Structure 1
Amino acid sequence: MSVSLPGSLVSTDWLAAHLDQPDLVILDGSFKLPGVTPIAAEDFATRHIPNARFFDIDKIADHETSLPHMLPSPEAFEHYAADLGISNDSVVVVYDTPGLMSAGRVWWTLRTFGHDKVAVLDGGLRKWLAQGRPVTETVATFPKGVFQARFHAEAVRSKTQVLDNIESRAEQVIDARSAARFTAAEKEARPGLRSGHIPGSINLPFNALTNPETGELLDASSIAKAFEQAGLDLSKPVTASCGSGVTAAALAFGLHLAGKDDVAIYDGAWTEWGQPGDTPVVTGEEK
């Protein structure tokens, strides 16, 4: 019998009960900032949820640009997905180590290429380990998948589109970075970048959506309230940004749980916008 997801967020209980389902693909989408060691792939080699495959955000990307982990072409993603054993009929569960840092990026990437049968593991590896559930260093083998991408261009925003939006204000822009990075009280970790934020944008750090003790997602009403308190109008379209397009997807996932799907991601994010040049930058609390 094939497995079906109970929703876009699955519990550790649910995953534990379905670990051996042949049509279930478990992806470890953990990611760390440049320079942080051990790297996520090394963590995966040491321990991961049984049957998981490693979704390498830096590898499954467009390598023709200097910007980090930009979306690959649909054709390239088809190859990556197939190599991970993902087919169009696969049911996918994604997790990361802290709970919701990079799993949202993998969730969003799959959906952007037309795969909707994907959920995030609530609490991630952190909760899985806290409950004493099994992990392994054995990398499972699996047959190659057959994946045909259907690219949803409306899920992605370019620098030009974000620039145009400063004038039109057709979409709200929300930034997932820390408040200190948003206001420029703290400098960017990537060398050469200016500090501050996109004019007109508002700030909600991505970790405001999870319980700091467990890594679990807040309930949908609490998530909606967090966005509203940040100044977001849930009736209007949204573009999410961050440092390099990873944690912006955590906000997109949170908005999805709150019932809002007219959300796009500025894929170049601050790594592109903050480069020396003519993109306007605001510091402090000013919008």
Structure 2
Amino acid sequence: MSLTIQNPLVSVDWLYQNLENKNLIILDCTIPKVTATSEITEEKLQIQNAVFFDLKNVFSDNKAPFPNTVLSPKEFEEKAQDLGIHKNSIVICYDDLGMYSSPRVWWMFQLMGFKNVAVLNGGLPEWKAKNYPTEIPKYTIPKKGNFKVNYQPNKLKFTEDVLQSIENETILIADARSKGRFYGTEPEPRNDLKSGHIPNSVSIPYTAVLQNGKMKTEDELHDIFKVLKNKKQIIFTCGSGITASVLALAATVVNIKNVSVYDGSWTEWGSTPNLPITL
């Protein structure tokens, strides 16, 4: 019997109870934090039977000028099939940091029109805290899947879209970077990138929607997202599209619709000449 995902978040208990489902695909979506300063030395472990989703090297357009640029629908479809993902798969995304890069992968599947996908609330740390089964990563080649894309271009925004949205009061641009980066009081982690933020955008650091690596309660999220009320469209931005997706996930949890992500985010905006910047 195939499961249908009803919520963009699932608990580790739910995942453990459904580990044996033949349609389940668990994706390890881990990437290092862009602000990380130290190497991880402990042995890499993964959730039992997880498949590594290589966000940086396989599922981003490495020919693009900016990091983490999404693939074309055709390329995404082919690479998802290579991971053994089918049209009837149940896809669960997690990462080693709790919830950092896994929402980006969830959002990419949303962009590609695939609905039966969720993020593991709390990720690997929460899974390990319950002593659920882990293993050293296995590098096997899955049998090719029949995954199909149904592309949803309204979920993706580009620089020209954002520029045209600045003066539109029905659209809100929300920035997931830290307040220090937003206001230019702390440096950008990428060299030669200007400080500041997109004019008329608001600061909602992605850490505001999380507590101990898990998503805050729906009541807390409603309170955080009060500023989004009565807006026809929300554009989430960050440094390079990763943590903007955390906000997109949180907004979806509380049924906020018309949500999109600015793919180039501040890396593109802050390095493109003649774009307006506010401190």
The verdict on a shared fold, with TM-score over 0.5 as the criterion, is yes
Q: Distance in 2 between matches of 1:13 and 1:241?
A: 32
Name the structure 1 match of 2:260: 264
Name the structure 2 match of 1:185: 185
C-alpha deviation, 1:167, in angstroms:
2.7
After the TM superposition, which of the residue ranges 83-92 and 135-144 deviates more from structure 2?
135-144
Query: Which residue identity is paired with 1:245?
Result: G
Task: Judge conservation of contact 1:28–1:48 (CA < 8 Å) in 2.
Answer: yes
C-alpha deviation, 1:140, in angstroms:
6.3
Query: Which residue identity is paired with 2:99?
Result: L
Q: How does 1:140-219 map to 2 (within 5 A)?
A: 141=140, 142-212=142-212, 215-219=213-217
C-alpha deviation, 1:235, in angstroms:
4.5
Q: Distance in 1 between matches of 2:235 and 2:194?
A: 21
Alignment pair present for 1:236 and 2:232: yes
Name the structure 2 match of 1:51: 49
Task: Judge conservation of contact 2:73–2:151 (CA < 8 Å) in 1.
Answer: yes
Task: Judge conservation of contact 2:113–2:149 (CA < 8 Å) in 1.
Answer: yes
Task: Judge conservation of contact 2:90–2:116 (CA < 8 Å) in 1.
Answer: yes
Q: How does 1:22-33 map to 2 (within 5 A)?
A: 22-33=22-33
SS across alignment from 1:46: coil
C-alpha deviation, 1:168, in angstroms:
2.7
1:223 is aligned, of 221, 224, 228, to 221
Q: Distance in 1 between matches of 2:214 and 2:231?
A: 26
C-alpha deviation, 1:275, in angstroms:
0.6
Task: Judge conservation of contact 1:52–1:140 (CA < 8 Å) in 2.
Answer: no
Task: Judge conservation of contact 1:192–1:276 (CA < 8 Å) in 2.
Answer: no
Query: Which residue identity is paired with 2:214?
Result: E
C-alpha deviation, 1:180, in angstroms:
0.5
C-alpha deviation, 1:37, in angstroms:
5.7
Name the structure 1 match of 2:70: 71
Task: Judge conservation of contact 1:234–1:260 (CA < 8 Å) in 2.
Answer: no
Structure 1, unpaired ranges of 5+ = none
SS across alignment from 2:125: helix
Name the structure 1 match of 2:118: 119
SS across alignment from 1:168: coil
C-alpha deviation, 1:2, in angstroms:
2.4
Q: Distance in 2 between matches of 1:52 and 1:167?
A: 45
Q: Distance in 2 between matches of 1:252 and 1:236?
A: 15
Q: Distance in 1 between matches of 2:168 and 2:3?
A: 45
Task: Judge conservation of contact 1:194–1:276 (CA < 8 Å) in 2.
Answer: no
Q: How does 1:58-97 map to 2 (within 5 A)?
A: 58-59=56-57, 60-97=59-96
Structure 2, unpaired ranges of 5+ = none
Task: Judge conservation of contact 2:2–2:88 (CA < 8 Å) in 1.
Answer: no
C-alpha deviation, 1:99, in angstroms:
2.1
Q: Distance in 1 between matches of 2:63 and 2:97?
A: 30
SS across alignment from 2:167: helix
Label 1:128 to 1:251 Cα distance change in 2 as closer, same or farther (>3 A): same
Query: Which residue identity is paired with 1:30?
Result: T
Q: Distance in 2 between matches of 1:162 and 1:235?
A: 15
| TM-score, L = length of structure 2 | 0.93
Q: Distance in 2 between matches of 1:36 and 1:87?
A: 38
C-alpha deviation, 1:6, in angstroms:
4.6
Query: Which residue identity is paired with 1:232?
Result: L
Query: Which residue identity is paired with 1:281?
Result: I
Q: Once superposed, which parts of structure 1, at least 4 consecutive aligned residues long, lie more than 4 Å away?
A: 34-39
